[in-house]
């Protein structure tokens, strides 16, 4: 692929015939004799009737390395000076330096001074680092506060359904001042005269402990998950219910602090707590459902 043909200066082939001294146009600048090919003949013919201006002629001459550029004439210098003066006056600039008066600022070449973009980048990085450190510190502080304020007697919902061994459940009760009693002096779950806490639900143990704390009354557990109780979804065998003995303190607390909610089928009076605990007043004990 070839580029456009360079502009050739000098005599042209006239449309009416070969170039002669009579029909050859005068060139704006002195140039060696070079032939003109193609459509440039029409261009040179047009330029013959409409010659380039002084500045255009200088630009054309500058494109030809074999032709020395003509220096500006005094008239051209005056016109250039007048043009720059008018621009300086319109923009209120110093005509000598073309800058605002009193502005001596030069181009910034000092690489030691950070650019605005660099400063902004560093600021963003610093802010992001500070934010990350602050977030990590805040998480650590919140985690520490949660750990320090944990109440081990309160069971999370996902742990409420965990079933405990008899030994662990009995230890929890003993540590909180509650006692267990068995008519057969045993803990075998398969014997009805034993008192067993095997596979009792975690929430059942924690809520009976809460009952002890709120009432301030002595509590004796006499029935747990052992056989001999009525079956059902929310039964002793499923770990939802405990039996505790009567005493004046706990009787008064349950009947005075909880709303009466009717009578069970066997004639036991029912009391219900706001949390959903149901107390059934049987003949020799309280049958309590912790749901």
DSSP, res 201: E
CB 204 within 8 A of CB 241: yes
pLDDT > 90 in the chain, percent: 44
How many angstroms from the chain centroid is the CA of residue 200? 44
Please give the Cα distance from 287 to 242 (Å, whole number).
Answer: 6
pLDDT of res. 161: 76
Residue 260's CB is within 10 A of a number of other CB atoms, namely 12
191 CB-side CA count, 13 A: 10
Tell me the sheet residues that pair with 220: 179
Residue 147 has pLDDT above 50, yes or no: no
Cα separation of 143 and 136, whole Å?
A: 10
192/2 Cα distance (integer angstroms): 110
Written as six digits, the tokens of 222 are 């006499």
Name the pLDDT band for 94 (thresholds 50, 70, 90).
confident
- Position 150 scores a pLDDT of 38
The Cα 159–Cα 161 span in angstroms is 5
**d(Cα 77, Cα 54) in Å, to the nearest integer?**
12
Q: How confident is the model at residue 41 (pLDDT cuts 50, 70, 90)?
A: low
Is 277 within 8 Å of 291 (Cβ atoms)? yes
Q: Band the pLDDT of 128: cuts 50, 70, 90.
A: low
Residue 145 has pLDDT above 50, yes or no: no
Mean pLDDT of 219-229: 96
| Average pLDDT, integer, range 81-103 | 68
Cα(66)–Cα(90) distance, integer angstroms: 40
| Helices vs strands, H then E, count in the chain | 8, 9
Contact 88, 95 (CB under 8 A): yes
R_g of the chain, CA atoms, integer Å: 54
CB 174 within 8 Å of CB 166: no
Q: Which of 30-39, 84-93, 98-107 has the highest mean pLDDT?
A: 84-93
Strands (E) in the chain, as ranges, are: 163-164, 179-180, 200-201, 220-223, 241-245, 259-263, 269-272, 278-281, 285-289
Tokens of 55: 């500045």
pLDDT at 20: 52
pLDDT of residue 103 exceeding 70:
no
Among positive and negative, which fits the CA dihedral 179, 183, 188, 190? Answer: negative
Q: Region 278-289: what's the mean pLDDT?
A: 96
Q: Report whether pLDDT(173) > 90.
A: yes
Between 264 and 98, the higher pLDDT residue: 264
Is the sign of the CA dihedral 86, 92, 94, 97 positive or negative?
negative
Q: Interhelix angle for 248-257 vs 202-215, to 10°?
A: 100
Find the range with the poorest average confidence among 101-115, 189-203, 249-263.
101-115
What's the DSSP call for residue 165?
Answer: P
Band of residue 109 on the pLDDT scale cut at 50, 70, 90:
very low
Flag whether pLDDT at 7 surpasses 90.
no
Which of the 8 DSSP states describes residue 191? -
Task: State how far the alpha carbon of 203 is from the alpha carbons of 70, 125, 151, 160, 188, in Å.
Answer: 106, 49, 14, 5, 22
């Amino acid at each position: 692929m070839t580029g456009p043909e360079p502009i050739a200066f000098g005599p042209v082939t006239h449309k009416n015939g070969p170039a002669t001294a009579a029909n050859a146009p005068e060139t704006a600048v002195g140039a060696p004799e070079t032939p003109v090919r193609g459509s440039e003949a029409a261009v040179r013919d047009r330029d013959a009737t409409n010659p380039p201006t002084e500045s255009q002629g200088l630009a054309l001459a500058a494109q030809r390395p074999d032709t020395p550029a003509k220096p500006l004439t005094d008239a051209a210098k005056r016109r250039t000076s007048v043009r720059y003066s008018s621009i300086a006056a319109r923009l209120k600039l110093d005509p000598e330096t073309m800058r605002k008066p009193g502005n001596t600022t030069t181009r910034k070449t000092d690489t030691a001074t950070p650019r605005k973009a660099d400063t902004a980048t560093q600021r963003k990085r610093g802010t992001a680092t500070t934010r990350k450190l602050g977030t990590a510190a805040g998480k650590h502080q919140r985690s520490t506060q949660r750990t320090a304020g944990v109440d081990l007697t309160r069971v999370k919902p996902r742990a409420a359904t965990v079933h405990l061994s008899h030994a662990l459940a009995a230890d929890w009760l003993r540590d909180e001042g509650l006692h267990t009693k068995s008519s057969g002096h045993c803990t075998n779950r398969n014997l009805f005269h034993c008192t067993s806490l095997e596979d009792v639900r975690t929430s059942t143990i924690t809520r009976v402990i809460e009952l002890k704390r709120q009432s301030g009354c002595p509590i004796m557990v006499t029935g747990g998950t052992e056989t001999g109780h009525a079956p059902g979804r929310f039964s002793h065998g499923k770990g939802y219910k405990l039996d505790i003995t009567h005493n004046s303190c706990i009787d008064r607390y349950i009947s005075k602090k909880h709303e009466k909610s009717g009578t069970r089928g066997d004639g036991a009076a029912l009391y219900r707590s706001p949390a959903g605990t149901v107390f059934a007043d049987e003949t020799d004990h309280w049958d309590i459902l912790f749901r």
